């Protein structure tokens, strides 16, 4: 392992864009299927991975939603989430903001309570055992209607103290941010932070990013790489100090490129870009693999890499005190660790 790879691997890191359902590795999928008496259309882990033949967002989402069929009980969600936190420990990720998709479970008859209690139990255990901290972001599925998102919002209210914000994911084609303007206004009134996916190379990516700023008033944008096509938009994002959660390995699967040159451009423009894993069980690579790939592809310096990670801590939805503690941990690490 090179010194730079070592620097990245051992660095204290934060992840702001990971779908907990997208961390369901084939091995655990088989275990849960057996426990729940569900027959999967594959015999082996290799066969399952070989069937992950997606090359765009809709073809990925089909496999992603199919995979969730094995998640039924509170214990299933606990096992799923604890497995992700074990990866965090291996990779020195000390803080994570986890997306979850309640509607995708509620339509299968799995209650909001089942989902969130299982995830919450793993969060408390990970903090206690390994000092890995985390917060939850509930995503609405943009290919369902706004009334369904409103129902999910209402279902979340009894658990409000366990959820830091709301997001918007799933298939973006024909489902612009504005479709959810009212639901997001209601979520804001409940005290939730707001973020939205603006997936890469979508039909109206640039318009959608403008909508998140001008119509929704988001606190963060997930992906948002296509902002580089519009100078005025880039200036606006810099002016608002908007954090963008970019996911290079994921981009390499759902588009033709990992968009790592774009990450460098964003850094050069002073945009607050971060690196994340998105759905690491499907787009193979957790935080370290994503950062290492970005550094190599784009020839990033130690300072560039450190800025990416600093942006994640400072752009997180932690309290200012917690942010300062983690940022100073990162600062000490980078000051005392050589890469050459
Ligand atoms: N749901 C899970 N992963 C997603 C992604 N990368 N884009 C949109 N919706 C998602
Ligand atoms: Zn995502």
- Cβ–Cβ < 8 Å for 200, 223: yes
**Where is pLDDT greater, at 127 or 340?**
127
**Cβ(278) to ligand 1 under 6 A?**
yes
Cα-to-chain-centroid distance, residue 305: 19
Which one of the ligands is nearest to 21 CA? 1
Pocket test for ligand 1, best of 71, 80, 170 (most atoms within 8 A of CB): 170
User: Which residue ranges make up each domain of the chain?
Assistant: 13-318
**Cβ(151) to ligand 1 under 6 A?**
no
User: Residue 53: its pLDDT value, please?
Assistant: 85
Ligand 1 centre from 137 Cα, in Å? 13
Which one of the ligands is nearest to 223 CA? 2
Q: What is the pTM of this model?
A: 0.98
Pocket test for ligand 1, best of 18, 22, 103, 168 (most atoms within 8 A of CB): 22
User: Residue 214: its pLDDT value, please?
Assistant: 98
Pocket test for ligand 1, best of 17, 20, 61, 253 (most atoms within 8 A of CB): 61
Q: Which helix (H) or strand (E) holds 329?
A: helix 320-336
> Is 286 a residue whose pLDDT tops 90?
yes
Ligand 1 centre from 263 Cα, in Å? 19
Q: What token pair was written down for 23? A: 């961390």
User: Residue 222: its pLDDT value, please?
Assistant: 98
User: Residue 128: its pLDDT value, please?
Assistant: 98
Percent of the chain with pLDDT over 90: 98
Ligand 1 centre from 169 Cα, in Å? 5
Q: Which stretches of the chain are assigned E, i.e. beta strand?
A: 13-19, 93-100, 133-141, 163-169, 193-198, 220-223, 243-246, 272-275
The topology under which CATH files domain 13-318 is: TIM Barrel (3.20.20)
> Which residues crowd ion ligand 2, with CB under 5 Å?
278
> Is 292 a residue whose pLDDT tops 90?
yes
What is the rounded CA–CA span in Å between residue 294 and residue 300? 7
Q: What is the pLDDT of residues 4-18, one digit of tens each?
A: 999 999 999 999 999
Look at ligand 1, atom 8, and give the residue with the nearest C-alpha: 170
Look at ligand 1, atom 10, and give the residue with the nearest C-alpha: 170
Q: Which region among 39-43, 140-144, 154-158, 239-243 has the lowest average model confidence (pLDDT)? A: 39-43
What are the strands of the beta sheet with 193-198, ordered from one edge?
A: 13-19, 93-100, 133-141, 163-169, 193-198, 220-223, 243-246, 272-275
Q: What is the pLDDT of residues 225-264, one digit of tens each?
A: 999 999 999 999 999 999 999 999 999 999 999 999 999 9
User: Residue 317: its pLDDT value, please?
Assistant: 98
Q: What token pair was written down for 206? A: 């640039």
User: Residue 340: its pLDDT value, please?
Assistant: 86
Q: What is the pLDDT of residues 81-95, one digit of tens each?
A: 999 999 999 999 999
**Cβ(140) to ligand 1 under 6 A?**
no
Cα-to-chain-centroid distance, residue 38: 28
Cα-to-chain-centroid distance, residue 315: 13
Token pair 């810099």 is found at 238
What is the rounded CA–CA span in Å between residue 153 and residue 266? 33
């Amino acid at each position: 392992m090179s010194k730079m790879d070592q620097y990245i691997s051992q660095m204290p890191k934060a992840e702001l864009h990971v779908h907990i359902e997208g961390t369901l590795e084939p091995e655990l999928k088989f275990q849960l299927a057996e426990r729940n008496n569900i027959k999967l259309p594959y015999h082996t882990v290799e066969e399952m991975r070989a069937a992950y033949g997606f090359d765009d967002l809709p073809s990925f989402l089909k496999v992603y939603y199919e995979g969730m069929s094995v998640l039924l009980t509170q214990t299933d969600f606990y096992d799923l989430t604890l497995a992700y936190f074990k990866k965090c420990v291996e990779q020195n990720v000390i803080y994570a903001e986890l997306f979850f998709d309640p509607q995708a479970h509620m339509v299968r008859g799995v209650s909001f309570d089942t989902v969130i209690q299982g995830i919450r139990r793993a969060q408390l255990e990970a903090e206690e055992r390994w000092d890995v901290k985390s917060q939850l972001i509930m995503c609405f599925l943009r290919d369902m209607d706004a009334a369904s998102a409103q129902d999910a919002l209402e279902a979340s209210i009894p658990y409000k103290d366990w959820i830091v914000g709301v997001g918007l994911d799933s298939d973006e084609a024909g489902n612009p941010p504005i479709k959810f303007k009212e639901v997001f206004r209601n979520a804001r009134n409940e005290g939730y932070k707001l973020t939205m996916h603006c997936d890469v190379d979508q039909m109206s990516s640039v318009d959608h990013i403008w909508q998140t700023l001008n119509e929704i008033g988001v606190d963060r944008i997930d992906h948002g790489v296509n902002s580089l096509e519009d100078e005025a938009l880039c200036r606006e994002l810099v002016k608002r100090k908007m954090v963008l959660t970019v996911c290079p390995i994921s981009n390499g699967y759902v588009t033709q490129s990992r968009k790592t040159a774009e990450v460098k451009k964003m850094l050069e423009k002073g945009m607050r870009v971060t690196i994340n894993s998105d759905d690491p069980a499907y787009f193979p690579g957790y935080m370290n693999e994503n950062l290492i790939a970005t550094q190599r592809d784009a020839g990033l310096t130690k300072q560039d890499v450190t800025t990416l990670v600093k942006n994640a801590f400072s752009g997180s939805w932690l309290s200012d005190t917690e942010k300062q503690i983690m940022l100073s941990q990162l600062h000490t690490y980078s000051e005392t660790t050589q890469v050459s």
